[in-house]
Amino acid sequence: MRCLKCGQRACFEIRRHRAAFCQEHLIEHLRSQVEKAIKKFKMFSPKDRILAAVSGGKDSLALWDILLGLGYCTEGLYIHLGITSYSDKSHEMAEKFAFSRGVPLYTVSLKEIFGEGMEYIARKTSKSFCSACGLIKRYVMNITAKLGGFDAVATGHNLDDEAAALLGNVLHWQTGYLARQAPNMPERGGLARKVKPLCRLTERETAAYCVVKGIDYILDECPMSQGASSLRYKETLNLLESSSYGTKDQFYLGFLERGQRYFKQGEEEVELRDCIKCGQPTTAEMCSFCRQMERVGFDSLALKKALKELLSAD
Amino acid sequence: MKVIIHRDSAVKEIKGSHTVEKALRILNIIPETVLVVKDGRLVTLDTKIEEDEEIEVIPVVSGG
């Protein structure tokens, strides 16, 4: 198989685009796909300051590298969840990347702030592990972006993540989520802008990008994600993709272009107000983060205090 | 050929020479879910692997 651009031996094929590329042109192609998504969905401009949420995995490190390569001012946020040795290993990957590129990485450690990690917190709540963890991550991302004066939070969600989330939302007719699922969630009422610049790339492509660029990433999966429904949805979509190239792309990007409008009709925007404890946006009197931490027996304000110190120390 | 599957730390042997895609099918691996590396470099699915050669399979699916 030959590279579409230069005719040299290809190292990677993208069947839905009926194309194959050598290393050099694969990097160029994947970067151009990210740039295309940033522009099409009006995510941010070259003047903006971006906070990349990094986990040490292939997607977030590819995201950070691509944004830096495209010239976007991007700093990193790592949330140390204290999950066995997995968190230490993934933190090491994120730090190694930041050091090699000479860019700032802010690390928020639950154990350092609260004395306990995610496993303890999840045990004390009635929620599932992933749900309790997701709530904390979303809160930390938002408050860091706000306190640090960032214009947007970028996450490494890729085409597979978004297509799997869409399949889950369709299977359960989550009409509210179907109306809101988007690669660009604009800033509103204290919520920072959230963007997903990798939404046009599959996870096979982000992994290939890391291998070709020599980016070390954590190969292990989060030990708490085993059996997650998103993995089953991904498996189903990959089976369909293997017999009909472009299925994931058409399902997700087609939904955004032609399907989502039907779910947006009649959807009312929920009013946001300030949490009585931490001041972060919420639909209730107290935000779900503060409520969750109260249930666990921790002072939620300790996080805000630690973040202020972290951001001012830089 | 020898196939080293990362994440599972498994090693498989397949008789004969095959393309990467055929080797993955023999092992019941969906090509969309992995990268294949030979001698430290990515290879396309149509690459022919000889019986005495070795490939590494890197799973790419993550989630939670």
Q: How far apart are CA A74 and CA A202, in angstroms?
A: 22
Helix axes A58-69, A23-40, angle to 10 degrees: 80
Q: Least CA distance to A10: which residue of chain B?
A: B44
How are beta strands A49-54 and B41-42 bridged, if at all? unpaired
| Confidence label for A221 from pLDDT (cuts 50, 70 and 90) | confident
Q: Least CA distance to B61: which residue of chain A?
A: A203
The distance of Cα A31 from the centroid of its chain, to the nearest Å, equals: 17
The predicted-structure confidence for A254-303, as pLDDT tens digits, reads as follows 999 999 999 998 777 788 999 999 999 999 999 999 999 999 999 999 99
Residue A113 near residue A306, CB atoms below 8 Å: yes
Of A23, A203, A228, the CB nearest to B64: A228
CB–CB contact A228 B58 (8 Å): no
The predicted-structure confidence for A100-137, as pLDDT tens digits, reads as follows 999 999 999 999 999 999 999 999 998 888 899 999 99
The predicted-structure confidence for A18-34, as pLDDT tens digits, reads as follows 999 999 999 999 999 99
Q: Least CA distance to B33: which residue of chain A?
A: A204
pLDDT of residue A270: 83
Q: How far apart are CA A139 and CA A156, in angstroms?
A: 17
Helix axes A129-148, A288-296, angle to 10 degrees: 120
Residue B23 near residue B55, CB atoms below 8 Å: yes
Percent residues over pLDDT 70 in chain A: 100
How are beta strands B2-5 and B54-59 bridged, if at all? parallel
The distance of Cα B41 from the centroid of its chain, to the nearest Å, equals: 12
CB–CB contact A221 B60 (8 Å): no
Question: What single DSSP character describes residue A295?
Answer: H
CB–CB contact B7 A225 (8 Å): no
Backbone φ, ψ for residue A81 (5° rounding): -90, -10
pLDDT of residue B9: 81
Contacting residues of A for B37, CB less than 8 Å apart: 211
For the cut 80, the answer to whether the pLDDT of residue A314 exceeds it is no
Q: Which amino acid is at A236?
A: T
For the cut 60, the answer to whether the pLDDT of residue B64 exceeds it is no
Query: Exposed e or buried b for every residue in A71-101, given b needs 16+ CB within 10 A?
Result: ebebbbbbbbbbbeebbeebbebbbbbbeeb
Q: How far apart are CA A29 and CA A314, in angstroms?
A: 35
The single residue listed with the structure tokens 């939670």 is B64
- Give the residue-averaged pLDDT of B38-47: 96
Contacting residues of A for B33, CB less than 8 Å apart: 204, 235, 238
DSSP run (H or E) holding A107: strand A105-109
A8 is written with which tokens?
A: 């040299």
Helix (H, G, I), strand (E, B) or coil at A53: strand
The distance of Cα B7 from the centroid of its chain, to the nearest Å, equals: 13
* Whole-prediction pTM: 0.95
| Confidence label for A51 from pLDDT (cuts 50, 70 and 90) | very high
- Give the residue-averaged pLDDT of A226-253: 93
pLDDT of residue A213: 97
The predicted-structure confidence for B1-42, as pLDDT tens digits, reads as follows 999 999 778 999 999 999 999 999 999 999 999 999 999 999
The predicted-structure confidence for A176-206, as pLDDT tens digits, reads as follows 999 999 999 999 989 999 999 999 999 999 9
DSSP run (H or E) holding A52: strand A49-54
**How many helices and strands, by DSSP H and E, does chain A display?**
14, 10
